[in-house]
């Protein structure tokens, strides 16, 4: 029996699912006595340091947690569950942590994108039982803007490089805590969890080639989901956002099965987009919640859900905030939510007044769940102009002139699945969303969507250069070389594709094999019950 501390913010379902997939049962703690009775305690932290400590205080969990830690019974902290062990954090000045390990938590001060999102490796500094069965070359999933700085180096279990070297996990006796998420780190992550649970395993010292660890470029599979004309929830795919062929919605498979298949083939992340979310009330669209619940039982990489994350009134007049809608998705297994249409409307309001309301969906969701959980999905379309000062938008000098020889273009934001163009450009949208608290940009391109022509590198460069958060390049991937191109000719941290994977033209394994040795990627793993991923 594993005891899990859930203080009520974010996605603990993934941790529960990962532990249960190893054949263990999980008891979720609701009071201090249960912490003291625990034999093995797992503490996954999500959200922000300040609100975490306030909730722990309010629920009278701080003292039992300290007592448990000092008793040296097996403890695994994850992400904020690691940071909580320290004395304080720059994220919440004046708020005390558990103070179990001397040291503080600091924000990254680097030129690279923050948050540090994605798959990075570990430099192992001590023997530990959690490394049994690993080679030391594995990559693990990180998502954080702050990192720990222990006073005493003897607690450092691993370090990782991102701009500089930081401590990515600690070990003191039976207390182990990681900045990365084992529950979201595929096969090696599950291995770490299993090793933690088997407390009698011998400690292993891994011999590694010394050197800097490197963040991998991520390959993301996207599943556009909607009901077809028969009422079944299907994965579909459009050509420039038109998902109908001969009058019917294209049906490319079932969402839960396809997500599992892509995970096993090596996808670093899965994105679900409910593409009719702008029409219906998503919380009445229960199948999407069920899709997430089922997917998160078998898929141990990050899951993003978009489509219909916005404020809504149901038929009885009850109002739901976007935060409430998002919370339901987080509880069902989402790690991030993405906002499309509403982000455009929020930024338009901001541009009119020049002020934030502090209460927009972007601000509220990122405040509660952290910036890393708030993705903005942009659906831009090229608009050609003859001169760079013809419009007030951010105009680029394009190498692909327009139909009438226009040398310039700007990228117009659209809403409602590309149906309505707005008087706002994608660069401005991305910049304002970052200011409001967004942690990542999912950058689609209607002109390239489903065309197999390759990513719009000019668009990716224009947006990526204007923000300091990670950007996912999306739309147009047609072959392995297109991924190489986007990773070498832009600074995008990840690339997303849909059509080529669904139509089985190119597999995720083929993309990774092509990139291997040229671009840093997460290695492929063999999944039990499947043939070898090449
Ligand atoms: O506006 O907050 O409700 O969110 C709706 C979401 O649904 C947005 O993220 C929007 O991008 C998406 N969406 C709406 N309509 C469509 C459509 O296709 N008719 N899907 C749509 C956009 C997602 C792309 C696609 C890439 C890669 N498709 O990310 O997966 O273009 O495709 P490719 O590799 O085949 O070229 P809201």
Q: Which of 340, 344, 347, 433 to mutate to test the pocket of ligand 1 (most atoms within 8 A of CB)?
A: 340
Q: In this structure, what DSSP letter does residue 280 have?
A: S
Residue 379 annotated among the catalytic residues of the structure: yes
Q: What is the pLDDT of residue 284?
A: 66
Q: What is the pLDDT of residue 533?
A: 40
Given 138, 183, 456, 493, the catalytic residue:
183
Secondary structure class of 123 (helix, strand, coil): strand
Closest C-alpha among 307, 285, 120, 344 to residue 222: 307
Closest C-alpha among 227, 215, 319, 332 to residue 277: 227
**Quick one: how far is CA 447 from the chain centroid?**
26
Q: What is the pLDDT of residue 529?
A: 57
Q: What is the pLDDT of residue 370?
A: 86
Residue 527 annotated among the catalytic residues of the structure: no
Whether residue 499 contacts residue 445, with contact meaning beta carbons closer than 8 Å, is answered with no
Q: What is the pLDDT of residue 97?
A: 97
Q: Which of 339, 498, 503, 505 to mutate to test the pocket of ligand 1 (most atoms within 8 A of CB)?
A: 498
Whether residue 511 contacts residue 495, with contact meaning beta carbons closer than 8 Å, is answered with no
The region that residue 22 occupies, defined by phi over 0 for left and psi between -120 and 50 for alpha, beta otherwise, is alpha
C-alpha distances in angstroms, 518 versus 207, 232, 353? 25, 41, 47
Q: Tokens 């579909």: give the residue.
A: 236
Q: What is the pLDDT of residue 227?
A: 84
Say how many Å lie between the CA of residue 227 and the centre of ligand 1: 15
Say how many Å lie between the CA of residue 278 and the centre of ligand 1: 12
Q: What is the pLDDT of residue 534?
A: 34
Q: What is the pLDDT of residue 313?
A: 85
Residue 224 annotated among the catalytic residues of the structure: yes
Q: What is the pLDDT of residue 526?
A: 77
Q: What is the pLDDT of residue 37?
A: 95
| Site residues for ligand 1, CB cut-off 6 Å | 222, 224, 237-238, 241, 243, 273, 275, 277-278, 306-309, 338-342, 377, 379, 417, 444, 449-450, 474-477, 496-499
Q: What is the pLDDT of residue 140?
A: 98
Q: How does 70-84 read in b/e, with b if 16+ C-beta sit within 10 Å? A: eeebbbbbbbbbbbb
Closest C-alpha among 341, 356, 522, 532 to residue 436: 356
Given 138, 224, 269, 520, the catalytic residue:
224
- Residues 170 and 157: their CA atoms lie apart, in Å, by 5
Q: What is the pLDDT of residue 286?
A: 67
Output helix, strand, coil percentages for the chain, rounded to the nearest 5: 30, 25, 45
Q: What is the pLDDT of residue 95?
A: 97
- Residues 455 and 475: their CA atoms lie apart, in Å, by 6
Residue 79 annotated among the catalytic residues of the structure: yes
- Residues 328 and 506: their CA atoms lie apart, in Å, by 34
Helix (H) or strand (E) holding 509: helix 508-515
Whether residue 107 contacts residue 83, with contact meaning beta carbons closer than 8 Å, is answered with no
Helix (H) or strand (E) holding 422: strand 420-425
Question: Residues of the chain whose pLDDT is less than 50?
Answer: 531-534
Structure tokens at 79: 């992400």
Say how many Å lie between the CA of residue 444 and the centre of ligand 1: 7
Residue 242 annotated among the catalytic residues of the structure: no
Whether residue 270 contacts residue 300, with contact meaning beta carbons closer than 8 Å, is answered with no
Given 6, 79, 434, 445, the catalytic residue:
79
Given 116, 181, 482, 502, the catalytic residue:
181
Say how many Å lie between the CA of residue 469 and the centre of ligand 1: 20
Structure tokens at 367: 């405040």
Q: Which atom of ligand 1 is nearest to the CA of 502?
A: 35
């Amino acid at each position: 029996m594993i005891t899990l501390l859930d203080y009520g913010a974010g996605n603990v379902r993934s941790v529960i699912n990962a532990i249960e997939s190893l054949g263990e049962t999980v008891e979720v703690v609701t009071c201090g006595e249960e912490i003291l009775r625990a034999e093995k305690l797992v503490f996954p932290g999500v959200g922000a340091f300040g609100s975490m400590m306030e909730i722990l205080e309010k629920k009278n969990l701080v003292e039992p947690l300290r007592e448990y830690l000092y008793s040296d019974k097996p403890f695994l902290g994850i992400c904020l569950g690691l940071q909580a062990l320290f004395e304080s954090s720059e994220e919440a000045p004046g708020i005390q942590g558990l103070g179990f390990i001397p040291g503080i938590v600091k924000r990254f001060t680097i030129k690279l994108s923050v948050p540090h999102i994605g798959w990075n490796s570990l430099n192992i500094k001590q023997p530990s039982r959690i490394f049994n069965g690993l080679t030391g070359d594995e990559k693990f999933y990180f998502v954080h803007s702050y990192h720990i700085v222990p006073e005493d180096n003897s607690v450092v279990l691993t370090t990782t490089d991102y701009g500089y070297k930081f401590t990515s996990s600690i070990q003191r006796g039976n207390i182990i805590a990681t900045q990365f998420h084992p529950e979201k780190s595929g096969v090696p992550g599950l291995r770490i969890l299993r090793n933690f649970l088997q407390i009698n395993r011998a400690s292993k010292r891994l011999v590694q080639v010394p050197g800097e660890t490197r963040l991998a470029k991520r390959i993301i599979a996207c599943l556009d989901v909607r009901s077809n004309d028969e009422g079944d929830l299907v994965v579909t795919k459009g050509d420039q956002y038109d998902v109908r062929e001969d009058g019917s919605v294209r049906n490319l498979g079932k969402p839960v099965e396809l997500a599992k298949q892509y995970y096993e083939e090596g996808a670093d992340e899965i994105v679900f987009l409910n593409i009719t979310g702008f029409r219906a009330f998503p919380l009445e669209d229960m199948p999407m919640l069920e899709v997430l619940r089922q997917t998160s039982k078998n898929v141990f990489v990050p899951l993003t859900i978009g489509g219909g994350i916005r404020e809504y009134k149901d038929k009885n007049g009850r109002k739901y905030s976007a935060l409430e809608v998002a919370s339901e998705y987080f509880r069902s297994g989402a790690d991030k939510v993405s906002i499309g249409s509403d982000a455009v409307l929020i930024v338009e309001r901001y541009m009119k007044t020049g002020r934030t309301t502090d209460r927009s969906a972007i601000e509220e969701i990122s405040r509660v769940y952290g910036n890393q959980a708030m993705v903005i999905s942009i659906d831009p379309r090229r608009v050609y102009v003859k001169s760079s000062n013809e419009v007030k938008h951010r105009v680029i000098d394009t190498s692909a002139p327009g139909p009438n020889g226009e040398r310039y273009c700007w990228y117009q934001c659209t809403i409602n699945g590309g149906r309505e163009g707005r008087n706002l450009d994608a660069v401005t949208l991305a910049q304002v969303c970052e200011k409001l608290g967004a942690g990542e940009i999912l950058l689609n391109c209607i002109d390239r969507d489903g065309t197999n022509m390759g990513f719009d590198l000019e668009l990716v460069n224009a947006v990526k250069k204007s923000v300091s958060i990670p950007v996912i390049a999306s739309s147009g991937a047609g072959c392995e070389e297109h991924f190489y191109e986007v990773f070498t000719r832009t600074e995008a941290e990840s690339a997303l594709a849909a059509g080529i994977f669904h139509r089985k033209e190119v597999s995720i394994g083929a993309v990774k094999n092509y990139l291997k040795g040229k671009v840093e990627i997460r290695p492929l793993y063999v999944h039990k019950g499947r043939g070898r991923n090449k």
